Amino acid sequence: MTAAVPSEVAAYIEAVPERHREVFLPVFDTVAAAMPDGYRLGLHWRMPGWVVPLDTYPDTYNGQPLAYVSIAAQKNYVSLYLMALYSDSAEEQEFRRAWEAGGRRLDMGKSCLRLRRPEDADLPLIASTIAAFPVDRFLAVHERIRAGGTA
C-alpha cells in the first residue's frame, strides 16, 4: 500500500478480515498499480474505489462521482466492481473471453467479479483491463450505455 492511500481507505484495508486478505490485498495492489491518471481513490459506497471526480465529470444522475473500479470484502468473497464492463457491452464480452481463455472459472455478474481464493484472480488480465480505460475512454463507454447503447 502506498502513501497516496487516503486514511479512510487505509482503515478499510486494515479491517479486511484475515480470511479475505490473501485475495483482497494483491487485487487492490494490482488495481492501484494499473490505474490510469485522472481517477481518484476514496471510500465510496462503504468500500474503496476509484472514481471520476465531479470536477472532471459533474453530470451524474445522483450527484456522486462516477465509479470506475471498487473493491469490497464481502461475507463469502472479495468483489471487484469493474464498471467499464457493464451492460453486456463489447468490453464485457471481451473480458469474459480472455478470462475463460486463461483457464479460470469466471464468477461475474453485470460488473461484479467475485473472487474467493488467490488463484481465482487473473491479476495480469485485471491490470490490463484497468489500464485500458483512461478517463476519456471510460466516459465514452458510460455515455454510450447511458444513451441506451450496449455495443
For the chain, the domains span 7-144
pLDDT digits (tens, 9 = 90+) for 29-80: 999 999 999 999 999 988 999 999 999 999 888 999 999 999 999 999 999 9
Query: What ranges make up the beta strands (E) of 45-106?
Result: 47-52, 66-73, 78-82
The pLDDT value given to residue 90: 83
* pLDDT score of 87 more than 70: no
Number of H helices, E strands in the chain: 5, 5
Q: Does domain 7-144 have CATH number 3.90.1150.200?
A: yes
For 67, phi then psi, to 5°, come to -70, 135
The pLDDT value given to residue 124: 97
The three grid cell numbers given for residue 141, joined into one nine-digit string: 463507454
* pLDDT score of 88 more than 80: no
CA distance 14 to 66: 25
* pLDDT score of 98 more than 50: yes
* pLDDT score of 1 more than 60: no
